[in-house]
């Protein structure tokens, strides 16, 4: 792992733990045990660092999702596998991260919005089509409509997490969101499979 990657990983860990706005470059340098000059050698300012962290996380999400999707398992299991990855990656996220990004770094938050409306929606549409072929998802569904609705569910979940009145953890909301989505599109056969495997989403092993 090169120096820039170590800085990105350290910044991500710090952001996830205490939020984005309250973290200074001095805090990050102290946390990593390096000089601030070393950070500025790779990133011109905090905004560029945040954008780079976001891009790295999105790239990791794409890679992991594609790996989950390349298996020969059925469409329901593929969604469970992808959801388990997402749950593991974000289980300890401080909701302040979402609030800070939306309020103070909208352009950087926009990278996630673009990811959701492009890659995620395409992935869900493909999953719906496969599930319909397998008889696990309802035939009367329009894959594009379902994928758009799923993106809206994600947006709603993020808004709930960013709310000052939120009392839920990411892991809890995410499980409910995925369960709501899958139960709504599954056939009886798909729902039977889902009921047997839904708890895998929150399995940290």
Architecture of domain 3-202: Orthogonal Bundle (1.10)
Distance from C-alpha of 177 to C-alpha of 174, rounded to nearest angstrom? 5
Runs of H (alpha helix) within 33-120: 36-42, 46-69, 75-90, 96-104, 106-115
pLDDT of residue 91: 81
Query: Whose CA is closest to 56, among 121, 104, 3, 112?
Result: 112
**Contact (Cβ atoms closer than 8 angstroms) between residue 56 and residue 11:** no
Mean pLDDT rounded to a whole number for the chain: 93
Segment 19-30, tens digit of pLDDT:
999 999 999 999
Q: Which residues lie below 8 Å from residue 198, measured CB to CB, with a gap of 6+?
A: 80, 175, 179, 182
Prediction pTM value: 0.88
Segment 54-77, tens digit of pLDDT:
999 999 999 999 998 888 999 999
- Tokens representing 19? 């939020």
Q: Which residues lie below 8 Å from residue 33, measured CB to CB, with a gap of 6+?
A: none
**Contact (Cβ atoms closer than 8 angstroms) between residue 175 and residue 80:** no
């Amino acid at each position: 792992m090169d120096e820039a990657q170590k800085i990105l990983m350290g910044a991500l860990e710090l952001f996830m733990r205490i939020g984005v706005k309250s973290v200074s470059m001095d805090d990050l340098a102290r946390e990593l045990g390096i000089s601030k000059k070393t950070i500025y050698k790779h990133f011109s300012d905090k905004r560029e660092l945040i954008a780079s962290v976001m891009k790295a996380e999105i790239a990791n999400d794409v890679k992991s999702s594609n790996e989950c999707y390349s298996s020969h398992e059925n469409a329901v299991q593929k969604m469970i596998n992808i959801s388990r990855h997402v749950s593991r990656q974000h289980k300890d996220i401080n909701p302040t991260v979402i609030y800070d990004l939306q309020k103070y770094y909208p352009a950087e938050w926009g990278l996630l919005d673009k990811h959701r409306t492009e890659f995620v929606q395409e992935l869900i549409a493909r999953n719906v089509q496969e599930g319909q072929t397998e008889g696990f998802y309802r035939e009367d569904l329009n894959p594009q409509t379902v994928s758009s609705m799923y993106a809206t569910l994600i947006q709603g979940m993020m808004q709930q997490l960013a709310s000052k009145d939120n009392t839920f953890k990411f892991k809890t909301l995410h499980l409910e969101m995925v369960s709501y989505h899958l139960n709504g599109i599954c056939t009886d056969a798909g729902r039977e499979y889902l009921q047997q495997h839904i708890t895998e989403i929150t399995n940290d092993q």
